[in-house]
Amino acid sequence: MSAAQFVNLLVAALLLAGVYAIMSYGLALAYGVMKLVNLAHAGFMMLGAYLTLEAFRRLGLDPLLGAIVTAGVLWLVGMGVYWLLVRHVPTSDEPTLPSLLLLFGVWLVLQNIGYLLWGTQDQAILTPRTLQTIRLGPVTLPVVRVLVFLVALVGLAVLHLVLGRTWFGRAVRALTQNRQASRIVGIDVGRTAMLAFGASTAFSGLAGGLLATLYSFNPDFGGPFLLRSFVIIVLGGLESFAGVALGGLVLALLETFSVLVIPAGYQLALSFGLLVVALLVLPGGLPSLFAWRRRL
């Protein structure tokens, strides 16, 4: 492999890592605040992809702007789902079977709504910039992937600011650490959880809309990306947002460079293998590895 090929693959992996990170933050947020393994994450990503498509076809909205608008819509949808369904599930410090089954059911309902409204045919969002590229010396950058990466980067920056600088962010971090102590110091746990579930759903929708500009999709669209999200948050240590970004980078590097030795069709199997290895060897994720090295 030449140096130019290596640099091109490395840049492609970095661009992919941004999308993977924003795809996984929604799942990490729901787990951190409510200890929910949100299987409906896949359904919300699918819904985000189709709403972005409808905004593009019916309203002529740019797909990237459509993905952002879709995120706002899905924030409201997520808060509605929480208020109608999720808040009735008994809370626990560990994921529970009722919550798992409930959110699996929500995924199935969303998937069947997708089949009912949009059928089984693959859809794609094609714009004049879909095939455009930028050349920077030996590096070739697909325009749409660069723009998607920038939108994802802005989304991550907004999340970082909200979590670090606002009352809502402090409440979310408090709930992530100790639910009972949060209640004692006056945090409205129910309201914060509803807003956090809405934000989790918004990130799922944004990720779905961005991914729809890169790949074709159908109502089964969210499943493979749900598995990748699980791999990333396990690598990231489940509740560490910095760890999620690192996990996204590791998976993107592995998938991108693996095409040199195995067919691209096996990438999902590679992700599943990485999930098994991470659960067996690094159950605390990559942050636990760094903590172990600091103790030496």
pLDDT string in tens for the chain (296-residue length)? 777 788 888 888 888 888 888 888 888 888 877 778 888 989 999 999 999 999 999 988 999 999 999 999 999 999 999 999 988 887 777 778 888 899 999 999 999 999 999 988 898 888 888 888 888 877 888 888 888 888 888 888 888 888 888 888 888 888 877 778 888 888 888 888 899 899 999 999 999 999 999 888 999 888 888 888 888 888 877 666 677 888 888 888 888 888 888 877 777 787 788 778 877 777 666 666 666 666 55
Q: Cα(first)–Cα(last) distance of the chain, in Å? A: 37
Q: What is the pLDDT of residue 174?
A: 83
- Write down the pTM of the prediction: 0.88
Q: What is the pLDDT of residue 27?
A: 84
Q: What is the pLDDT of residue 296?
A: 58
Q: Using CA atoms, how far apart are residues 196 and 28, in angstroms rounded to an integer?
A: 11
Q: What is the pLDDT of residue 172?
A: 83
Q: What is the pLDDT of residue 238?
A: 65
Q: Using CA atoms, how far apart are residues 142 and 133, in angstroms rounded to an integer?
A: 4
Contacts (Cβ under 8 Å, ≥6 apart) of 277:
none
Residue corresponding to tokens 């208020």: 83
Q: Using CA atoms, how far apart are residues 231 and 75, in angstroms rounded to an integer?
A: 24
CB-side neighbour CA atoms (13 Å) of 167: 6
CB 198 within 8 A of CB 18: no
Q: What is the pLDDT of residue 10?
A: 87
Q: Using CA atoms, how far apart are residues 53 and 143, in angstroms rounded to an integer?
A: 19
Angle, CA 153 vertex, CA 147 and CA 158 arms, to 5°: 130
Q: What is the pLDDT of residue 292?
A: 61
